Amino acid sequence: MELRTDLALEARELKGDISGVEWDEEQFGDVTVNRMEVTSHHGADALGKPMGRYVTVTMPAFTDNSFRTDERFETVSAEFARLVPKDGEVLVIGLGNSRITPDALGPKAASQIIATRHITGELERSCGHSQLRPCCVLAPGVLGQTGIEVLELLKAVCSSIKPAAVIVIDALASRRLERLGCTVQISDAGISPGAGVGNNRPEISTRTLGVPVISAGVPTVVEASVLARDLIGHSSARVQPDGRRMIVTPREIDLLIDRAARLIALSVNSVLHPQIDPIELLSMT
């Protein structure tokens, strides 16, 4: 059975050392940063992940700690800054279904991103901030709600506004319960929505959109059969009654989503508008 996971860190754990995959780790207080770069097609094929950079930030559980602008925020912001282009307009996309809590990370984060593309001239001056970086935000819903593939919509938007980069925020799937709600993955390799739970949608990446794509997400679910395989060494039909896939998510998922969305949104806002104090950015959202 294939152990599905959206986390490159977990894919490497399954495969071990692979040529064409570079790896390093740093510690910042109680926050661990794992950086991985897939540099060859051989590495990409072996790992099952596209070529590119993957950063995994592991921290104390969101649900055990109230949100603060501490080393968690500072570390995630710093890793975003490594990947996001320094100049130009940015389009932020919040993927997912806001009506399904474990899938609501993208829309909730998008609702806290400060849209500034329309703020220019006198309006910019009256807001008290000069030289705001242009940013626009979109939460496009899912195919079942709109009948439109997200990639189709993003291609149309990108062809019109021509952003310098696209930031995509989405909930992820892990293969381990202990990684839910305490892990942030950031990557410039793009994203395939739903891949971790077997609902593959078209890839959103630099290749498909023609502009740099930076993805960010937090694992919120584990597929039950994957969890069973990880815990007891084999899957069980009992976790897939009548062939139906079962998903496991934490009991405190509402709090997890709220705090993870706030962390990612504030990190993105801070990278796009470094001249504004993070506390003021929080008040603006």
pLDDT at 236: 56
Confidence of residue 119 (pLDDT cuts 50, 70, 90): confident
Dump pLDDT digits (tens) for 10-64. Answer: 988 888 888 899 999 999 888 999 999 999 999 999 888 999 999 999 998 888 7
Dump pLDDT digits (tens) for 163-193. Answer: 999 999 999 999 888 899 899 999 999 887 7
Residues 6+ apart with CB under 8 A from 128: none
Assess if CATH 3.40.50.1450 describes domain 8-220+253-284: yes
Dump pLDDT digits (tens) for 124-141. Answer: 666 666 678 999 999 998
Alpha-carbon distances, residue 108 vs 49, 103, 230 (angstroms): 27, 10, 30
CB 192 within 8 A of CB 202: yes
Radius of gyration of the chain (CA): 19
DSSP string computed for 216-236: EEEEEEEEHHHHHHHHHSS--
**Strands 135-138 and 90-94, bridge-based pairing:** parallel
Domain ranges of the chain: 8-220+253-284
Percentage, residues of the chain above pLDDT 70 = 86
SS3 of 158-191 = HHHHCCCEEEEEEEEEECCHHHCCCEEEEECCCE
* Mean pLDDT, residues 65-88 taken together: 86
Q: Phi then psi for 36, rounded to 5 degrees?
A: -130, 140
pLDDT at 284: 80
- The closest alpha carbon to 272, from 84, 124, 127, 101, belongs to 84
